[in-house]
Amino acid sequence: MTRNKTLGRCGVALLSAAAAVSLAGCSNPVSALQQTFGTPSVAEARAKQAAAVPAQLSAPTIIKDGTLTVGLDTSASAPRCLTSHDGSMQGYDIDMACAVADELGLQVEFVSVSNASQALGQTCDVVMGASASSTGGVTVVGAYAEDAVGFFHKGSEQVAAKEDLVGKTIGVQDGSASQQLLKRSDLEARQESFENLNDAFDALEQGIVDYVLCDAFSGAYLQAGYGDIAFCGSLNVPQSVGVGVAATNTELQSAVKAAVDKVTSDGVSDVVRSRWLGGLTPLGDASQVSGIEVSAGTVEGATSDTTEVEGAASGVQDGSTAGTNAADIAG
């Protein structure tokens, strides 16, 4: 099923004109904006950009003149894409797509996709949340997020050592990809399963478990509801997530990459990240807990971890191994 949701010019770009004046030479544009305007909401960050930017692209580079049609995996993990009972969508991927559309001078329309290679150029121009550099007729440009399975604990953000985890009780969602990945690891720890991540995080808060293992972005999203829970390292190597574009559409690839680069340099992506992930540090090789070996295998049959979000149509999906919560780009 494909759900269309058309929005006007989202205007996500972060007060670009003001930023150009007040943030010149500033190493932390978001901090400077906060000092000048107070902590900016994404709505405020969307306020200034859209009206002044002419359309940068037209058909046949994009499907519809004046509109960037964006494919979303609506079952992706919270907070990447959240769908409410009324069909409205919000989330990290939605905000980033709006920011990119604004930089291109385009309105944005969202469609639900399950296979990027089949959808690109047919039902959508780009797909958010794609991984891998180029495969299945899809080229991924403009990395804007990371995909990893992360540990969370009571304490400050850090990267734990393997010995910190040995013999401890780790909460996971029953039947999830995170649970399967943990089972395939050589980490000697007790496993406690829960119906969803909300229950697992409650157990962590209450001291019933020592750690929770889940999609790193989902965990960062949930930890905002607790005063003393933080990320403490990933089980696997974080992978970059970007915007998928048809491999043959080089003009769109270049334009989208430039737009994502601009959104990043302007500090817009920092505001979006802060909105959905709080203070989670960007994840990279140094974020991985060293010394844990994970055997090769698949996560077939595993369900996505779920979080319960008020107003959502169902438990929000939280795919939780590297690549599994990215759009399928196989042919």
How would residue 302 be classed by pLDDT, with cut points 50, 70 and 90?
Answer: low
**Is the per-residue pLDDT at 309 higher than 60?**
no
How would residue 285 be classed by pLDDT, with cut points 50, 70 and 90?
Answer: very high
**Domains (range + CATH), the chain:** 5-147+240-282+309-318 (3.40.190.10), 149-234 (3.40.190.10)
**72-86, 137-151, 292-306: segment of lowest average pLDDT:** 292-306
pLDDT digits (tens, 9 = 90+) for 4-43: 444 444 544 333 333 332 333 333 344 444 444 455 555 5
Q: First vs last Cα of the chain: how many Å apart? A: 19
Q: Which DSSP state fits 303?
A: B
pLDDT at res. 10: 54
In the beta sheet, which residues pair with residue 134?
139
pLDDT digits (tens, 9 = 90+) for 187-224: 999 999 999 999 999 999 999 999 999 999 999 999 99
Percent of the chain with pLDDT over 70: 73
pLDDT at res. 74: 83
Residues 6 or more apart whose Cβ sits within 8 Å of residue 244: 71, 116, 120, 126, 127, 128, 130, 138, 139, 140, 327, 329
pLDDT digits (tens, 9 = 90+) for 83-121: 888 888 899 999 999 999 999 999 999 999 988 999 999
List the structure tokens of 121: 């150029």
| Best CA proximity match to 329, nearest among 113, 99, 32 | 113
**Structure-model confidence comparison of residues 310 and 108, the more confident one:** 108
**65-79, 128-142, 186-200: segment of lowest average pLDDT:** 128-142
Count of beta carbons in the 10 Å neighbourhood of residue 266: 23
pLDDT at res. 321: 35
- Length of the chain in terms of residues written: 331
Residue with tokens 């991540």: 197
pLDDT digits (tens, 9 = 90+) for 259-268: 999 999 999 9
**Structure-model confidence comparison of residues 292 and 3, the more confident one:** 292
**Is the per-residue pLDDT at 176 higher than 70?**
yes
Mean pLDDT of 112-139: 88
Mean pLDDT (the chain) is 81
**Is the per-residue pLDDT at 1 higher than 60?**
no
pLDDT at res. 303: 53
How would residue 227 be classed by pLDDT, with cut points 50, 70 and 90?
Answer: confident
pLDDT at res. 307: 53
Count of beta carbons in the 10 Å neighbourhood of residue 116: 29
In the beta sheet, which residues pair with residue 68?
108
pLDDT at res. 19: 36
**Is the per-residue pLDDT at 320 higher than 50?**
no
**Is the per-residue pLDDT at 56 higher than 80?**
yes
Q: Which DSSP state fits 84?
A: B
**140-149, 151-160, 309-318: segment of lowest average pLDDT:** 309-318
pLDDT at res. 298: 56
Mean pLDDT of 159-176: 96
